[in-house]
Amino acid sequence: MISIEFEYKIVSKVATLVVKKQINSLFLTVLTVLIMLIIVNVAANAASVNHYISAHHYSPSTITKQIWKGFPHYKYRHGKGKPEGVVVHETGNPNSTIFDEIAYMKKNYRNAFVHSFVDDDHIINIANTDYLCWGVGYPGNARFIQFEQIEMHSKKSFAHEVENAAYYTAYLLDEYNLKPNDAVYDGKGTVWSHGSVAKYMGGSDHTDPVGYYKKAGKKYFHKAYTMSQFYQLVLTNYKNIE
C-alpha cells in the first residue's frame, strides 16, 4: 500500500512541474512580446526618410530671397539664366547655423560661394541664380545652380531639411524648364551631388552630401539615406509643382 507521505511527494512533484511549466510558458510569452515590440520599434525607426516625411505630411518652407549685391555676375556657359542642373552640397560643419554660413560666405566669396542655403526651417537664396556661382570648380561652376545644406541634429529637423532641399531642387528645375534626371550614377542629368560633379567632371575631391546623408540616416532612421532616395523625393515635389 502506498503511504500517504509517498502520495504527497508525488503530488508535490507534479505540482512543482506544472508550476515550472506555467512559469516557463509565461516567460516565453513575455519574451516573445518584448521581442515583437523591439522589432516593431526598430522597423518604425528604420522606415525610410521619404516615407517619414510623407507620413507626417511635412511641407516645405517658403523660399526667401535675400540677394546680396556683392556677388559677381558671370554668365553660365550657355548664357544668362541658362543653368543646366542643380548641385546639392552640405557644409561639413556640425556647429554652424544657416545665418553663420551666409555671413561667412559673404566675407569669403572670393574663395567660393553658392546661390542658396537650406536647413529645416529656411530656404534662403542669397545669389542671383541667373548667374553662375563658385562652388564645385571648373567646369561645373559654369553649368549648375548650387545650394548648401546645414547639418541637422535631430530626426525631425533632418527630415524637414531633406524635404526643403528636395522641394527647392524641384522648384529650380521647374523655374528653368529643366526636366528631372538623376546624374549621380552616370554623370548625365540635372540633379547632382557635389560628389558626382567631382567624380565625372573634376574640379574638386569633395563627396558631399553623401557622407552627411549616410550618417544622419543611420543615426535617426537606422538606415543610410542616399542620393537615390533624395532624387525620388525631388520627383515627388516636382510632380506636385506641376
Angle, CA 94 vertex, CA 173 and CA 139 arms, to 5° = 40
- The lowest-confidence range among 25-29, 66-70, 188-192, 224-228 is 25-29
Dihedral angle at the C-alpha atoms of 82, 87, 91, 96, nearest 10 degrees? 60
* pLDDT top residue among 128 and 19: 128
pLDDT in tens, 75-115: 999 999 999 999 999 999 999 999 999 999 999 999 999 99
Q: Find, among 73, 133, 71, the residue nearest to 106 by Cα.
A: 71
Measured between alpha carbons, how far is 139 from 127 in angstroms, rounded to an integer? 19
145 φ/ψ sector (left φ>0, alpha ψ -120 to 50, else beta): beta
User: Which CATH number does the domain 49-241 belong to among 3.40.80.10, 3.30.830.10, 3.40.50.2300, 3.40.1210.10?
Assistant: 3.40.80.10
Measured between alpha carbons, how far is 37 from 34 in angstroms, rounded to an integer? 5
Q: Which amino acid is at 170?
A: A
Domain boundaries, the chain: 1-45, 49-241
pLDDT in tens, 141-184: 999 999 999 999 999 999 999 999 999 999 999 999 999 999 99
C-alpha cell of 99?
545665418
- The lowest-confidence range among 5-9, 33-37, 92-96 is 33-37
242 contact partners, CB below 8 Å, separation of at least 6:
174
